A and B are shown apart, each in its own frame.
Chain A
Amino acid sequence: MHDIISQTGLSKDAAASSCAVEMTGISKSFGDVRALDDIAFSLQAGEVRALVGENGAGKTTLMNILYGIYAADEGVIRLGGREIPHSWSPREAIRAGIGMIHQHFALISNHTVLENIVMPLLKWREISPSWKSHAKRVSEICREYHFQIDLQSRVEDLSMGERQQVEIVKALYQGAKVLILDEPTSVLTPQQTEALFRFLLILKKRGHSVVLVTHKLDETMQISDRITVLRGGKLIGTIEREQANPQIIARMMIERDWIARLKVAPLPDSAAVVLKVRNLSLNNEQGIRVLDDLSFHVRAGEIVGVAGVAGNGQVELSDALVGLRRVQQGAVEIEGINSTRHTVLQRRKAGLVFIPEDRHHRGVVLDMDIAENIVLNTISEKPYSRYGVLRSQVITDCAEEAISAYSIKTPGCRVPVGNLSGGNQQKIVMARALLREPRIIIACQPTRGLDFGATEYVRKKLLECAQRGIGILLISSDLDEILELSHRILVMFSGKIVSDLPVDRVNLDQLGLLMAGHGRNNQLD
């Protein structure tokens, strides 16, 4: 394996003078966790570099150190050959020509686009900035790179894609020579991703360096010149794109071969409908229609995938199905019983459980221990409590059982969930959902942010559930996952279902177009 990996990250032949960034011996610990261990990373001017690795590999941490968000415990950073001062902050990073676009955008949502773009450049002594000339120059940049943003609108009114453009313009306006993008495509359609990549290539031509932090191998192969792989806080190596292929990179990332695709078992025709949704419509708090006349059904043992770019109503759909939001129109039937007006609790008792999109937002309470989290849904029911009084022993036993059944890595069942890794937290969410055999699972992005092992585990578990006759609605923006697991695929765009097809009739190119709102599938039933 090592014969194909040239350790260019450390190689002497990279000319030091053309090195935009050189990081050596970088180490960083959070508490007792060693997030980065003696990392070396160098970046030439005018290259696009992919920084890949599993979740928790340390990619974002490394870049945050470069950008001054974190301070490294050890190590040296040189920019253009000069060592950075000990007190390194985003302010100084910006001045040195480093721009970073975080996965969660660092924009003040209450301020206007122009204010957000200009603010990092303002000095404290600049009492009265000349907004007009700033606006003029920002508009020039927008024109140059074909961005269309209204500079006077508030960021909170923009879409995710637009916000990303604001972030990029902001970085460019600050004169960024090195642009770090952290998982930039996670909120974009394939077409928007294409546009972004074209834009990155323009940047590269003009001598900018780009670091693309990602875990998507296709992107990595598509755009980058070189690929640096981190694993578990350690540098595995840097290879040229020409020498790489997805298998090689995957092996570097996970230390084992590319996993064979899982396959969903065919669905018997006789399977009964467990979840039926009719003409569901929902307005959000601002009165905007976010779900528009949705109708579909899920049969026992069926996995129905809902594909779509994040922000097209998926969250609202799952919330409406689970009972977290009141719908304006339409009906939700669970096993033939109209449950539209039922509460979360009633629906769960009817057999509908929820694997939420955002573990920390909807999934686990980090301050509470594992046992409490596992029985949280069923705490008021026998045998976990009687007359409102907890039965600690029963709860502990139940948690111990789940810990061994799901092989959750923990020193005990009374450890706060916040101390566990994301994968183990997701297992707890699964364990809770499956504690009482459900009839329907609403699974939203069940593997987002998980590493390979955990992803594989969760997917297997879902397939098992389907095999047992549980109907599953799988909402995911990961197309691979949807294609791999689903019997049937719905595509959501702008609150509507624009396509409903069995998996074997799905065409990947068309799917991308549908997700981007281009065209409508005429075979919609």
Chain B
Amino acid sequence: MQAKSGTAMMLNSYGKRFWDLPVAVPVLSLLLSFLVVAVMAVIFGVSPGTLLGALFEGALKGRFAMASTVKETIPLALASLAVYLPYRAGFFNIGGQGQLQVGAISAMVVVLNVSGPPLMVVTLAVLAAMMAGLLAVVVPLLLKIKRGASEVTTTIMMNFACIQLVNALITGAMKDASAFFGTTLPAPEQYRLPEFTLGVTVHIGIFIALLLVAGTYWLTSRTTFGVRLKAVGSKPSVAEASGIAVKKMIALAVLGGAACAGLAGGIQALGVVYRVAEGWSKGWGFTGIPIAFLAGKNSLAIIPIAFMFAILETGARYMQFMTGVPAALIFVFQGLPVLVFVSLNAWRSSKPNKIER
């Protein structure tokens, strides 16, 4: 009886109605969000066409804009891996932002204090960034594994603790005395990530990001690690009975993810911003959460989705100064589509709860 339903379900997902296509929900949520933003634009006295046109022009038109967008994609992709990987093991890592911050500051500590051949120092800095990200998740991880404490609570707490720690460092011990804001000294020229031009000029972090996303895809879909991870993520008790070291798998995925977040921070510090300062991070760690969630089961989807978010991020500036709308409007752009997406998805995948009298 139920086997029959399985077949039916499979047929359904290949059905012909638009509503059943996987593309339906993302497209609808984007269109709905654009509609809302268009209304807001009209209220503000700007033509919606101009507004959206400026958004995409600012993100995609010209090599400079394109380069900014691509560079913005890198930390977003890495930060979403930091959510994606642990989530596969059933661990909801909300601490990406904190891990990213401590990763960045660690990379800066290395490049500001170690001298040597650039390749060595940069490698060391990147490793330090990963290490720091990893350390930032150790407490929530241990609390989860040893005490069963909800990681949602603990990673949020770690997030803010890490952010305050970094703020303390950049306004205190590591502050650039001549700077107007809390900031570290800039990374020495020779210890920055090398750039190259392939159509647009970007730093080599793009390879790291692409490699890690592709690697994650390969790891989760083609290796025994992936199968075991899936078992741990969807049913740890079964995995345990199958002889899989559940806690070890969770730890590996979580530490790997956190290392990605740290790496995102390190790469951004050494490849784009060259320093860690107040407000230097634009919440990539938080944005990684909806990206990972939107990517669903396919980690390769992280790249286009992160690119989409990067478009919003970089296009926002041009949109703002060309049309005069408040810069904060972009937060609506970032929040609303995901809000609509999760709602539509929930609506479609399971019928909503019936309201009883």
A interface, CB within 8 angstroms of B:
30-33, 56, 71, 85, 87, 89, 232-233, 322-324, 343-345, 348, 354, 356, 360-368, 372, 376-377, 379-380, 384-385, 388-390, 409-411, 415-416, 419-421, 424
Contact = CB atoms under 8 A, between A and B. Distances in A.
19 contacts: A33-B2, A33-B5, A71-B354, A89-B356, A232-B1, A233-B1, A343-B245, A345-B243, A348-B243, A361-B238, A362-B240, A362-B241, A365-B230, A367-B230, A376-B238, A389-B222, A410-B3, A411-B7, A421-B2
Contacts of A30: 5
Nearest to B356: A89
B256 to A, nearest CB: 15
Contacts of A323: 243
A367 B234 contact: yes
B227 A376 contact: yes
B153 interface: no
A324 B2 contact: no
B10 interface: yes
A365 B221 CA distance: 16
B4 A362 contact: no
A368 B227 CA distance: 9
B317 to A, nearest CB: 42
Contact of A419 (B2, B223, B237, B242): B2
A91 to B, nearest CB: 8
Interface string B201-243: 0000000000000000000001111111011001101111111
Contact of A388 (B4, B8, B225, B356): B225
A322 B8 contact: no
Contacts of B241: 322, 324, 344, 354, 356, 362-363
A419 B8 CA distance: 10
B294 to A, nearest CB: 19
B227 A32 contact: no
8 closest A-B pairs by beta carbon, nearest first, are A419-B6, A345-B243, A344-B243, A367-B234, A87-B357, A32-B8, A362-B241, A421-B2
Given A33-B1, A232-B1, A415 B6 contact: yes
A390 B240 contact: no
B1 to A, nearest CB: 5
Given A361-B237, A363-B238, A365-B231, A385 B2 contact: no
Contacts of B356: 87, 89
A420 B2 contact: yes
Contacts of B3: 409-411, 419-421, 424
A107 to B, nearest CB: 22
Interface of B: 1-10, 222-228, 230-231, 234-235, 237-245, 354, 356-357
A379 B10 contact: no
Contacts of A384: 224
A258 to B, nearest CB: 23
A368 B245 CA distance: 18
Given A87-B356, A344-B242, A365-B239, A410 B6 contact: yes
A365 B228 contact: no
Contacts of B243: 323, 343-345, 348, 377
Given A87-B357, A385-B224, A388-B223, A365 B238 contact: yes
A366 B243 CA distance: 18
A504 to B, nearest CB: 34
Nearest to A89: B356
Contacts of A71: 354
Nearest to A346: B243
Nearest to B9: A419
Contacts of A356: 241
A344 B240 contact: yes
Contacts of B222: 389-390
Contacts of B224: 379-380, 384-385, 388-390
Contacts of A421: 1-3
Given A33-B5, A421-B3, A368 B237 contact: no
A232 B231 CA distance: 32
A30 B4 CA distance: 12
A360 B235 CA distance: 8
Contacts of A366: 234-235
A419 B4 CA distance: 8
B230 to A, nearest CB: 6
Contacts of A411: 3, 6-7, 10
Contact of A56 (B1, B10, B228): B1
A379 B249 CA distance: 15
Contacts of A363: 238, 241
Contact of A365 (B7, B234, B357): B234
A345 B249 CA distance: 15
Nearest to A355: B241
Contacts of A424: 3
Contacts of B7: 411, 415, 419
B223 A372 contact: no
Nearest to B7: A411
B135 to A, nearest CB: 27
Given A411-B7, A419-B3, A420-B2, 5 more contacts: A71-B354, A362-B237, A364-B235, A411-B10, A421-B3
A32 B9 CA distance: 8
Contact of A372 (B10, B230, B240, B357): B230
A379 B235 contact: no
A324 B238 contact: no
B45 to A, nearest CB: 48
Contact of A368 (B5, B230, B357): B230
A247 B228 CA distance: 47
A365 B5 contact: no
A120 to B, nearest CB: 15
A448 to B, nearest CB: 16
Contacts of A377: 242-243
A324 to B, nearest CB: 6
B227 A379 contact: yes
A32 B10 CA distance: 12
B9 A31 contact: yes
Contacts of A419: 2-3, 5-7, 9
A379 B357 CA distance: 51
B171 to A, nearest CB: 45
Given A322-B241, A344-B242, A366-B235, A32 B4 contact: yes
A233 B1 CA distance: 10
B240 A324 contact: yes
B234 A372 contact: no
Contacts of B4: 32-33
A71 B353 CA distance: 12
A44 to B, nearest CB: 29
Contacts of B6: 410-411, 415-416, 419-420
B148 to A, nearest CB: 11
A345 B242 CA distance: 7
B65 to A, nearest CB: 41
A85, A380, A420, A424, most chain B CB atoms within 10 A: A380
A363 B234 CA distance: 12
Contacts of A322: 241
B177 to A, nearest CB: 51
A179 B35 CA distance: 54
A390 B227 contact: yes
Nearest to B12: A32
B223 A390 contact: yes
Contacts of A376: 227, 231, 238-239, 242, 244
B2 A372 contact: no
A344 B243 CA distance: 5
Contacts of B244: 376
Nearest to B226: A390
Nearest to A364: B238
A265 B224 CA distance: 40
A379 B228 contact: yes
B227 A415 contact: no
Contacts of B223: 385, 388-390
A420 B9 CA distance: 12
